[in-house]
Amino acid sequence: MLPAPLVSLEKTIGFSFRDKDLLMEALTHRSAVRRSGLKKHNERFEFLGDAVLELVATEYLFRVSEKPEGELTNYRSALVKGEHLASVAKEIKLGDFLHLSRGEEASGGRDKPSTLANALEALIGAIYLDHGFDAAQKFCQNFILVRLRELLAAGKHRDEKSVFQEKAQELLSLTPHYDVVSEAGPDHDKKFICAAMIGEEKIAEGTGSSKQRAELDAAKNALKVKKWATPF
């Protein structure tokens, strides 16, 4: 039986879990189990939810837009970007339901954008496991994809890599590229460090759970280093 607060979360998202343990695990941060030695935290769910969301977003954009691949890729990046997912998580008050260690909670863990974005992906993974793809797709459509028009109007589809490339080409007549500096961790918990390069010069490094995210972070940092204006 779920604690009463989690029942209210089920009402908010419109899904009642058959396997309540899936929901509990999806809301358990690594910090909450670190001392106990258990492995029941939400990072594996996050890994699954990230893949489900990307597929759902890709299919949705393919069906609703005739834009070329490059533009659709930018639209998808705006939809699955951590900043957007954290905003959605705040909207459904997901942070209130997370199971955190005392230290993580004291440091503001319930409001950390990265923690919220990861928890939302974990929730998608749990919905997929409990209800199947159609249910996960419905959740993504109702809470994430529905904000596409808003994201486009705000220019969020122009990610940091796009802006960095435009600036480098405009000001230096060069196209940036990215090198993987390091890659560590198991498949479900990878950490990549990538470098944003202009020619042979390393401008900045970035980290992320995938090469794409590490490159985005590197581009964001490179924009700061070069002091090039950015809309974000």
Cite the residue boundaries of each domain of the chain with CATH code 3.30.160.20.
160-226
- 178 has pLDDT over 90: yes
Give the position of tokens 């940092």.
Answer: 221
DSSP per-residue codes, 49-65: HHHHHHHHHHHHHHHH-
pLDDT at 231: 44
Question: Of 172-181, 182-191, 215-224, which range is least confident?
Answer: 182-191
Examine the pLDDT at 232 and tell me if it is beyond 80.
no
pLDDT at 38: 53
Query: What is the distance between the alpha carbons of residues 63 and 215, in angstroms, rounded to a whole number?
Result: 28
> Considering only CA atoms, which of 156, 76, 84 is closest in space to residue 120?
84
Q: Report pLDDT digits (tens) over 120-172.
A: 999 999 999 999 999 999 999 999 999 998 988 877 777 788 889 989 999 99
Residue of 17 and 209 predicted with greater confidence: 17
4-153 architecture in CATH?
Answer: Orthogonal Bundle (1.10)
Q: Which of 31-35, 96-100, 106-110, 202-206 has the highest mean pLDDT?
A: 202-206
Q: What is the pLDDT of residue 13?
A: 95
Give the tens place of pLDDT for each residue, 4-22.
Answer: 578 899 999 999 999 999 9
CB-CB contact of 65 with 136 (8 Å): no
Give the model's pLDDT for residue 204: 97
C-beta of residue 220 within 8 angstroms of C-beta of residue 158 = no
**Higher per-residue confidence, 49 vs 103:** 49
**What integer is the mean pLDDT of 80-105?**
93
> How far is Cα 29 from Cα 154, in angstroms, rounded to an integer?
31
Percent of the chain, pLDDT > 90?
66
User: How much is the pLDDT for 191?
Assistant: 92
Q: Across the strands, what pairs with 99?
A: 28
Positions annotated as catalytic residues are 50, 121
The overall average pLDDT reported for the chain is 90
Q: Does domain 160-226 have CATH number 3.30.160.20?
A: yes
The confidence band for 71, taking pLDDT boundaries of 50, 70 and 90, is: confident
11 or 32, which is more confident? 11
List of residues 6+ apart from 160 with CB closer than 8 A: 216, 217, 219, 220, 223, 230, 232
Does the pLDDT at position 23 exceed 80? yes
The ranges of the chain annotated as CATH 1.10.1520.10 are: 4-153
Edge-to-edge strands of the sheet including 177-184? Answer: 177-184, 191-198, 201-208
pLDDT at 122: 97
Report pLDDT for 185: 86
